[in-house]
Structure 1
Amino acid sequence: MIRPPLPLLGVLTFVFLAGCSEEVAEEAPPQPVMVVQPQPASESIESYPGEVHARYEPELAFRIGGKVTERLVEAGDRVRKEQALASLDPQDVRLQLEGIRAQVAAAEANLRVARAERDRYKTLLDRQLVSRSQFDASDNAFRSAQARLQQAKAEFDVANNQVGYATLRATRDGVIAQRHIEVGQVVAAGQTAFVLAADGEREVAISLPEQAFERHAVGQEVSVELWSQPGRQYPGRIRELSPAADQQSRTYSARVAFTDAEVTAELGQSARVSIRSKAEVPLAVPLSAVTAEQGNAYVWRVKADATLERVRVRTGSFGESQVPVLEGLNADDWVVLAGVQLLHEGQAVRAVDRDNRSVVMAAQE
């Protein structure tokens, strides 16, 4: 028996092993991937946190300035219409009232003298003992005295009102939402002392980001969920939308009114406002199916020959579990659900659904 040389035997062995390796690589089974089809977008709804407020929240302020001598209510106290809330030192306005009262008395006395003088000149004129010009002068003095008395009485009424303005009273029934003054503080006329949450309608205050402002409008229907009543949705509508953004938060404030006036919402309660988008968002895919690169969104789509291709898509606002797809996919496409970071273009795969059942591509049926 003739044995081949040892070097030749080594070469033959290497070639044999290499051929086996190529056969093993070619026969490697396709990688299983879990796939889903895009579904109608159920998360084309934007949610915003909010807080329950009163429909009317007037800012109460003194109509005159002065030093606060008494504060009768605290934040959270319930008040009735015309109930006294706080008082200013009335000494200055009372002194002013007394001074104008004296002016009224002087004007009345001056009017009596002017009236008597005019009557006397009238009698003398009838007897032709004085000229017509002398009588006209006395009549003008009388009319001027009348005007000065009328002016003094008007000033007295104003001063008398200011004495009443030294006591701040509630304009409506409600709850004191905020307090901004303390005893001993000197306040100016018109400076906010209290914020009153009036009884009656309740609404939710929310803040809309800049990118969402153009998608919403006054009168748009929404749904409201109170934190204290999870799962229960109350219909509402956007009643007010600020045209200017807040300088610090750069958000637009909005007020949402309840459609049902008998909603049991208490002041300060937390709420969530859900607004359905007006734009058409036909399809959506799970969050885990989307990857991003250089500002673009992509998904992996399974082609008819069971290989992968990376497809660029245009997405909408991300939801809690889904991403609305505006462009790039069809309803009958199959996209990879998970493990998308480990895939590459043209890779052979075996598609399975969530229940680990094989998915047959349409072209393979």
Structure 2
Amino acid sequence: MFRYALPVSLAFFLSACGHEEPVQIGVRPAMVVQPEPSARVSDSYPGEVRARYEPELAFRIGGKVSRRLVEEGERVKANQPLAELDPQDVRLQLEATRAQVTAATANLNLVRAERDRYKTLLERQMVSHSQYDNAENLYRAGEARLKQIKAEFDVANNQAGYAVLRAPQDGVVAKRAVEVGQVVAAGQTVFTLATDGEREVLISFPEQNYGRFKVGQPVSVELWTQPGQRFDGRIRELSPAADPKSRTFAARIAFSAGKVPAELGQSARVFIQSADALSLSVPLSALTAEGGATYVWRVDANNTLHKTPVRVGAFGEKTVPVLEGLSASDWVVAAGVHVLHEGLQVRPVDRSNRVVNLAVKE
């Protein structure tokens, strides 16, 4: 009897389960906010304090470096020796030229005496005019030869002095490019000198932002040693070509104030205001990124999500300015954006978990 009762009861139970209504999954709530007006947008770029003038120093003649008298980072005075070349070759050339000057001087004395003798004989009508003219021409040639040799001697003497590289003015050796024993060519950079005087900040712009800036544009500079204090400045120089390695454009920022407590090599940050007077801002938690692009989830009047690309500015502590892609009347999801997808129906709520009627709000 129990053999028949169990299958019947089991069948009745399975039949009851088959007629149970499916569980309805509710619409997911989503906290939404509207973009708020933000303060004037500014981009910031890290930089390094550099000298206004940084001449590259080089020997005016080629040769082998025999002595290096300063180190990188050392302070130097105007006309101070920095390095020397092996002077043997230039000294030999100077001695050879000096010997030529002596020979040319002796030759000039000889032809002068000969000319004077022929002049006396001509007055006595003992030689012809052609013989005297020949003696006169030899004298003039000897005189010109002496002038030429003296000029060559001055050049050789100058080159002997060029074997010593000197600082053109006071400053700091910012970079050293040679070692003792190295053979350098004339004009090859040996040192880079950061001269005393004005200080600037060197920064680099990415390719996509290059067109937004121009020479003379006002900026503000903050030194890492003095956080919170801003110094007025301007873009003094903007490179027309990108660096072949970093693909960025170098720019130099000049301080507007006369005296700024900025030392060589200090870190700084340059703030440049955007051309847009006002922008909208959204919470950082509202942003999502994919494939190098930035998006937010916009909610329409039917409570449906749409993935909307936006262009943002410099990130703040809690918010980020949105430069393009949103209007002030839009509603965006402010949290949990990583689990959303296109076309999802949501129940908009505010930060107090109150339902937001977007059809009315818009």
Sort the TM-score into its range (normalised by shorter chain).
Answer: 0.7 to 0.9
- Helix, strand or coil at the partner of 2:147: helix
- 5 Å-filtered alignment, 1:168-183, equals 168-183=165-180
Residue deviations 1:214-250, cap 9 Å, x none? Answer: 2222222222221211222222112222222222222
Residue deviations 1:97-145, cap 9 Å, x none? Answer: 1211111111111111222222222233333333322222222111111
**What is the distance in 2 between the residues matched to 1:253 and 1:295?**
24
Shift of 1:319: 3.1
Partner of 1:104: 101
Q: Give identity over the alignment, percent.
A: 58
Corresponding letter in the other structure for 2:197:
G
Q: 1:299 to 1:188 in 2, by over 3 A?
A: closer
- 5 Å-filtered alignment, 1:261-272, equals 261-272=258-269
**What is the distance in 1 between the residues matched to 2:30 and 2:195?**
60
**What is the distance in 2 between the residues matched to 1:111 and 1:292?**
89
Structure 2: gaps (5+ residues): 1-8
**What is the distance in 1 between the residues matched to 2:284 and 2:335?**
9
Corresponding letter in the other structure for 1:199:
D
Conserved? CA contact 1:296–1:312, under 8 Å? no
Conserved? CA contact 1:240–1:254, under 8 Å? yes
Coordinate RMSD, CA, aligned: 3.1
Which of 323, 336, 340 does residue 337 from structure 2 map onto? 340
Q: 1:126 to 1:300 in 2, by over 3 A?
A: same
Shift of 1:55: 1.0
**What is the distance in 2 between the residues matched to 1:186 and 1:73?**
18
Q: 1:281 to 1:129 in 2, by over 3 A?
A: farther
**What is the distance in 1 between the residues matched to 2:237 and 2:348?**
54
Relative to structure 2, which stretch is displaced further, 243-252 or 76-85?
243-252
Shift of 1:304: 4.5
- Helix, strand or coil at the partner of 1:247: coil
Corresponding letter in the other structure for 1:114:
V
**What is the distance in 2 between the residues matched to 1:202 and 1:256?**
9
Shift of 1:342: 3.5
- Helix, strand or coil at the partner of 2:125: coil
**What is the distance in 2 between the residues matched to 1:199 and 1:137?**
62
Shift of 1:14: 6.8
Q: 1:61 to 1:43 in 2, by over 3 A?
A: same
**What is the distance in 1 between the residues matched to 2:276 and 2:125?**
95
Corresponding letter in the other structure for 1:137:
N
Residue deviations 1:198-218, cap 9 Å, x none? Answer: 111111112222222222222
1:39 aligns with 2:32: no
1:204 aligns with 2:201: yes
**What is the distance in 2 between the residues matched to 1:185 and 1:139?**
52
Partner of 2:350: 352
Structure 1: gaps (5+ residues): 1-5
**What is the distance in 1 between the residues matched to 2:32 and 2:118?**
114
- 5 Å-filtered alignment, 1:144-155, equals 144-155=141-152
Corresponding letter in the other structure for 1:83:
Q
**What is the distance in 2 between the residues matched to 1:181 and 1:364?**
71
Conserved? CA contact 2:97–2:152, under 8 Å? yes
Partner of 1:242: 239
Corresponding letter in the other structure for 1:351:
V
Shift of 1:170: 0.9
Conserved? CA contact 1:318–1:324, under 8 Å? no
**What is the distance in 2 between the residues matched to 1:152 and 1:348?**
97
Q: 1:105 to 1:10 in 2, by over 3 A?
A: closer
- TM-score, normalization by structure 1: 0.84
Partner of 1:3: none
Q: 1:341 to 1:136 in 2, by over 3 A?
A: same
Corresponding letter in the other structure for 1:116:
A
Which 4+ residue blocks in structure 1 deviate beyond 4 angstroms?
9-17, 292-298, 355-362
Corresponding letter in the other structure for 1:308:
T
- TM-score, normalization by structure 2: 0.85
Which of 306, 312, 318 does residue 310 from structure 1 map onto? 306
Which of 113, 118, 121 does residue 124 from structure 1 map onto? 121
Shift of 1:31: 4.1
- Helix, strand or coil at the partner of 1:85: strand
Corresponding letter in the other structure for 2:244:
Q
**Count of aligned positions:** 352
Shift of 1:184: 3.1
Which of 324, 327, 336 does residue 326 from structure 1 map onto? 324
**What is the distance in 2 between the residues matched to 1:85 and 1:339?**
64
Corresponding letter in the other structure for 1:349:
R
Conserved? CA contact 1:204–1:255, under 8 Å? yes
**What is the distance in 2 between the residues matched to 1:147 and 1:59?**
39
Partner of 2:3: none
Conserved? CA contact 1:32–1:352, under 8 Å? no
**What is the distance in 1 between the residues matched to 2:361 and 2:153?**
99
**What is the distance in 2 between the residues matched to 1:282 and 1:205?**
28
Shift of 1:330: 2.0
1:136 aligns with 2:136: no
Conserved? CA contact 1:205–1:253, under 8 Å? yes
Residue deviations 1:61-84, cap 9 Å, x none? Answer: 222223333222211211110111
